[in-house]
Amino acid sequence: MSDLDARASELDRAHVFHSWSAQAGLSLPVVAGGQGATVWDHAGHRMLDFSSQLVNVNIGHQHPAVVAAIREQAEQLATIGPATANLVRGEAAARIVARAPEGMNKVFFTNGGADAIENAIRMARLHTGRDTILSTYRSYHGNTGAAITATGDWRRLPNQYARGHVHFFGPFLYRTEFWAQTEEEEGARALHHLERVIQSEGAQTIAAVLLESVPGTAGILVPPPGYLAGVREICDRYGILLILDEVMAGFGRTGQWFAFDRHDVVPDLITFAKGVNSGYVPVGGVIISDPIAATFDERVFPGGLTYSGHPLAAASIVAALDAMESEGIVAHAREIGETTIGPGLRALAERHPMIGEVRGEGVFWALDLVTDPQTRAPISAATLGQLKSALVARGLLPFAAENRIHVVPPCVVTKDEVAQALEIYDAAFAEVAGG
């Protein structure tokens, strides 16, 4: 370990309080630089970043166009408040709505994904005059008041203090709650379940259904064909808004600009963050349908943020989206998922019984890890920890959650980098299985 790496670790342990962690046992890799799908420490030890950090560095590390845009904007105007008109903020909003469905022409900028969810919920409640928000148990929407209560996983349990939230089960055939045997059965039964929850809670009380278009942290659960369109139809029938959370799945991650693009559905509100600028500057937002935006034409919207539409963030959005378009990055993510990542992971599963299921699209994949392929019993936290350590030791930064390894490199990952990563996964699974 170099002196700089040692100093970084020393300062981190002494002064940095980390999220979602017991602090005493942390031993974190030092990252000093990066390029594309690779990062390195101060000593120059390189690692493949197949986590994209928190599944947000879609355009890759240190893309020169985005770095240059931030630098140029800082030299021109480093910050300005939201109660101004600013050219780069308007350009960023225009780039975003150009990718959204027709009839969605306004963007409310936030600092990240969680407060995008907060404000989408606020808009839905004010527009409908209703209170309840429905969301799935297998979900993650952020760690602020309403966002964490809308979240379905364990992290909401010590944090629930927001009102008016009800959960339901979304489709997940591999671990079905509905005794389904096919995707068609799973989708139809999940839709029936949702409608019964709406009826039981009282449709007249429900403001919105909030869904991740493709649940990410919960396991990269690509919805079966027709499910999202079915949710839209149910919402329309009961006068309920549909909020689609594209914070993790959006802007290239699934090989589409928005993950819902291939599901024949148009939401009322879209939340985004992460991939819109690959996290180079913190930013998120809500894309608002015209009828909801019109609610606030003569009525004050009771929400705001000091850094809403920050010019450095806006400049990074413009540069990132322009580069993704001109360089064909979204199409590349789709193609490499279909031809390289997906087939490679399925070949891994044939060799390693620990891999119970491979699922995903684009550069958004999960390996569901089991102790027994027949019972599908999840592996233990200890086994997952061993696997993570084996991957890091071989030069790969993984994204691990519960009993899963998520394979989520930047959208710009190359076929050679995927091949290298597949070799690392193969060796790590063999080591852990061999015990």
Please tell me the predicted confidence (pLDDT) of residue 377. Answer: 98
Asked whether residue 260 is domain-assigned, the answer is yes
Indicate whether 376 and 282 sit together in one domain.
no
Q: Residue 219 is which amino acid?
A: G
Q: Are the C-beta atoms of 287 and 104 separated by less than 8 Å?
A: yes
Indicate whether 283 and 308 sit together in one domain.
yes
pLDDT tens-place string over residues 394-422? 999 999 999 999 999 999 999 999 999 99
Boundary (domain end) residue, out of 289, 310, 326: 326
Residue 287: enclosing H or E segment and its boundaries? strand 284-289
Asked whether residue 380 is domain-assigned, the answer is yes
Indicate whether 335 and 322 sit together in one domain.
no
Which among 90, 170, 409, 135 has a CA at the least distance from the CA of 271? 135
- Domain count within the chain: 2
Residue 435 has pLDDT above 80, yes or no: no
Which among 25, 35, 37, 30 has a CA at the least distance from the CA of 11? 30
Boundary (domain end) residue, out of 287, 304, 326: 326
| Percentage of the chain lying above the pLDDT 90 cut | 93
> Which tokens in the block code for residue 299?
């009525």
Residue that is written with structure tokens 């063999």 in the block:
430
Q: For 193, what's the count of Cα atoms within 13 Å in the CB-facing half-sphere?
A: 21
Tell me which residue range forms the domain holding 392: 31-62+328-434
Greatest CA separation for the chain? 67
Indicate whether 215 and 311 sit together in one domain.
yes
Indicate whether 58 and 69 sit together in one domain.
no
Can you say whether the dihedral through the CA atoms of 231, 232, 233, 239 is positive or negative?
positive
Q: Could you tell me the CATH number of the domain that includes residue 423?
A: 3.90.1150.10
Residue 282 has pLDDT above 80, yes or no: yes
With H, G, I as helix, E, B as strand and everything else as coil, classify residue 384: helix
> Residue 248 and residue 399: Cα distance in Å, rounded?
13
Residue 302 has pLDDT above 70, yes or no: yes
**What distances in angstroms separate CA 272 from CA 113, 265, 429, one per listed residue?**
6, 17, 34
DSSP 298-332: SS------TTTT-HHHHHHHHHHHHHHHHTTHHHH
> Residue 364 and residue 253: Cα distance in Å, rounded?
6
Burial class (CB in 10 A: 0-12, 13-18, 19+), 143: middle
> Which tokens in the block code for residue 360?
């995903």
Boundary (domain end) residue, out of 297, 326, 355: 326
Q: What is the pTM of this model?
A: 0.97
Neighbouring CB atoms inside 10 A of 414's CB total: 15
* Nearby residues of 294 by Cβ (< 8 Å), 6 or more positions away: none
> Residue 36 and residue 60: Cα distance in Å, rounded?
4
- Top-confidence residue, 112 or 143: 112
Residue 185 has pLDDT above 90, yes or no: yes
Quick one: how far is CA 399 from the chain centroid?
Answer: 12
> Residue 398 and residue 423: Cα distance in Å, rounded?
14
Asked whether residue 22 is domain-assigned, the answer is no
Asked whether residue 234 is domain-assigned, the answer is yes
> Residue 171 and residue 190: Cα distance in Å, rounded?
6
Please state the length of the chain. Answer: 435
pLDDT tens-place string over residues 201-250? 999 999 999 999 999 999 999 999 999 999 999 999 999 999 999 999 99
> Which tokens in the block code for residue 425?
């996964």
Indicate whether 256 and 184 sit together in one domain.
yes
Indicate whether 226 and 369 sit together in one domain.
no
Indicate whether 308 and 370 sit together in one domain.
no
pLDDT tens-place string over residues 347-387? 999 999 999 999 999 999 999 999 999 999 999 999 999 99
Which among 256, 307, 261 has a CA at the least distance from the CA of 284? 307
> Residue 255 and residue 193: Cα distance in Å, rounded?
30
Please tell me the predicted confidence (pLDDT) of residue 225. Answer: 97
Beta-strand relationship, 355-361 and 165-168: unpaired
Asked whether residue 10 is domain-assigned, the answer is no
Asked whether residue 17 is domain-assigned, the answer is no
Q: Could you tell me the CATH number of the domain that includes residue 132?
A: 3.40.640.10
Indicate whether 305 and 375 sit together in one domain.
no
> Which tokens in the block code for residue 208?
């919105």
Asked whether residue 24 is domain-assigned, the answer is no
DSSP 349-377: HHH-TTEEEEEEETTEEEEEEEEETTTTE
Indicate whether 104 and 51 sit together in one domain.
no
Q: What's the mean pLDDT when you consider all of the chain?
A: 96
Indicate whether 391 and 314 sit together in one domain.
no
Indicate whether 252 and 153 sit together in one domain.
yes
Residue 159 has pLDDT above 80, yes or no: no
Asked whether residue 235 is domain-assigned, the answer is yes
